[in-house]
Amino acid sequence: MNLQNLIKKQNRPFLISGPCSAETEKQVFSVCQDIAKNTNTSLIRAGIWKPRTRPDSFEGIGEIGLKWLVDAGKSVNLPVTTEIANAKHVESAINAGVDVLWIGARTTVNPFAVQEIVDALKGTKIPVMIKNPINPDLSLWLGAFERFMKADLNDLTAIHRGFSVYKHPKYRNAPSWEIPIAFKQNLKEIPMICDPSHISGNRNLLLEVSQKAMDLNFDGLIIETHPNPERAWSDSEQQITPMILKELMNDLILRTSIVEASLNDELQDFREKITLLDDRLFEILSIRMKLSEEVGIFKRKNNITILQEEHWKKVIESRLSTADDFYLTEIFVRKFMDSLHQESIRHQIKVMNPDLKKSNDL
């Protein structure tokens, strides 16, 4: 099968669902029946080898589950996919008749492992989905795709599953939407699927994350479903039944990225106003940076260091405390002020150490 064509052909969102892990033959068959009956799933997922963070968790049922998955898929006439992490997994999955493979976030981080999988797949036509690496590194994610394309393996799809952070206040994995957006700008032809289950880590957030992915024009969703989520052997908090998945899909609002001619003028008006405002913002930023250079010259003359930590702390705190008044989120204000500060330091370094002018990497 050709997965890219299937995704393109189908109405958005292309839906992938199935359990986090295959647990028993009965569980795999029952969830596949429910999925086929109640949802418009196009591809069924189930993990056979599970890369768990801690060794005492369930690490997957292993090879025996491949047959359950393939047979259950056939019984409902749907293709199936599983995660592979090395050449041995590739061989077993292909021999068992798995239709699509996916590479997990803990494998994408490792170019040796990715290359081993590429070498094992060379010459085949099997579609591969590549999840983002656990760390927010766009190049590493793109690099995995480049390894496949260099081996003439081109039926590739990306899965955005969020990025690992220590104690995120809301998500299991921070979505950092700017990274899949940048990915799409680099590799336009690759379909982008969102994995709200692993971003959320919690079933209550699934609709919110799925809606955001749709509003960002993602091609599809991969959502973990289980006949009895509370009793699931892995990722129990984030799984839902196929019936709940059906409700979630009904609640999703699908918007189009194509602007009808009749709406174009009005949208154009808004855009022009925004461009004018952005022009003003950039003019102000440019004046602001010239002032930073004057400060740099002043500091050079008086032998004062560029970074004045206490001062900067106060500036950030004061901006954060008024974020709400300006209708801005604290996250944005912090990121914006940090980038402003970095750029200001760059300008100060330029005048402070003219010989290092070319070094732009602070």
Cβ at position 304, least distance to ligand PEP in Å: 48
Looking at 95-103, 169-177, 207-215, 230-238, which segment touches Mn ion (CB under 5 A)? 230-238
Nearer to Mn ion, 134 or 333 (CB): 134
Residue 20 has a CB neighbour count (10 Å cut-off) of: 24
Nearer to Mn ion, 20 or 221 (CB): 20
Query: With CB cut-offs between 5 and 8 Å by kind, which of ligand PEP, Mn ion, none does residue 105 bind?
Result: ligand PEP
Where does residue 266 rank: exposed (0-12), middle (13-18), buried (19+ CB within 10 A)? Answer: exposed
235 binds Mn ion (CB under 5 A): yes
Cβ at position 17, least distance to ligand PEP in Å: 11
Nearer to Mn ion, 31 or 306 (CB): 31
Q: How far is CA 128 from CA 99, 104, 131, in A?
A: 9, 11, 10
Looking at 9-17, 149-157, 214-222, 235-243, which segment touches Mn ion (CB under 5 A)? 235-243
Query: With CB cut-offs between 5 and 8 Å by kind, which of ligand PEP, Mn ion, none does residue 13 bind?
Result: none
Nearer to ligand PEP, 106 or 300 (CB): 106
Q: How far is CA 148 from CA 124, 134, 175, 194, 300, in A?
A: 11, 19, 25, 21, 51
Nearer to Mn ion, 200 or 292 (CB): 200
Query: With CB cut-offs between 5 and 8 Å by kind, which of Mn ion, ligand PEP, none does residue 219 bind?
Result: none
Residue 319 CA to residue 312 CA, distance in Å, equals 11
Cβ at position 215, least distance to ligand PEP in Å: 22
User: Tokens 């492992």 identify what position?
Assistant: 113
Q: Taking CB positions, which residue lies at the least distance from Mn ion?
A: 20
Cβ at position 85, least distance to Mn ion in Å: 14
Query: With CB cut-offs between 5 and 8 Å by kind, which of ligand PEP, Mn ion, none does residue 73 bind?
Result: none
Cβ at position 100, least distance to ligand PEP in Å: 13
Cβ at position 173, least distance to Mn ion in Å: 11
Residue 66 CA to residue 80 CA, distance in Å, equals 10
Cβ at position 150, least distance to Mn ion in Å: 30
Q: Taking CB positions, which residue lies at the least distance from ligand PEP?
A: 104
Query: With CB cut-offs between 5 and 8 Å by kind, which of Mn ion, ligand PEP, none does residue 161 bind?
Result: ligand PEP
Closest CA to 219 of 179, 182, 257: 257
Cβ at position 150, least distance to ligand PEP in Å: 23
195 binds Mn ion (CB under 5 A): no
As beta bridge partners, residue 163 has: 174
**Phi then psi for 264, rounded to 5 degrees?**
-60, -40
Nearer to ligand PEP, 20 or 96 (CB): 20
Residues in the site for ligand PEP, rule: CB under 6 A?
20, 47, 51, 104-106, 131, 161, 198
Q: Which of residues 8-27 bind Mn ion (CB under 5 A)?
A: 20
Under 8 Å CB-to-CB from 284, ≥6 apart: which residues? none
Cβ at position 183, least distance to ligand PEP in Å: 15
Q: Residue 175: how many CA atoms within 13 Å on its side-chain side? A: 21
Angle at 92 between CA 91 and CA 93, to 5 degrees: 95
Nearer to Mn ion, 20 or 31 (CB): 20
Closest CA to 140 of 171, 112, 109: 109
Nearer to ligand PEP, 16 or 352 (CB): 16
Nearer to ligand PEP, 58 or 312 (CB): 58
Classify strands 220-224 and 192-194 as parallel, antiparallel or unpaired.
parallel
Residues of this chain that interact with Mn ion (CB under 5 A) are: 20, 235
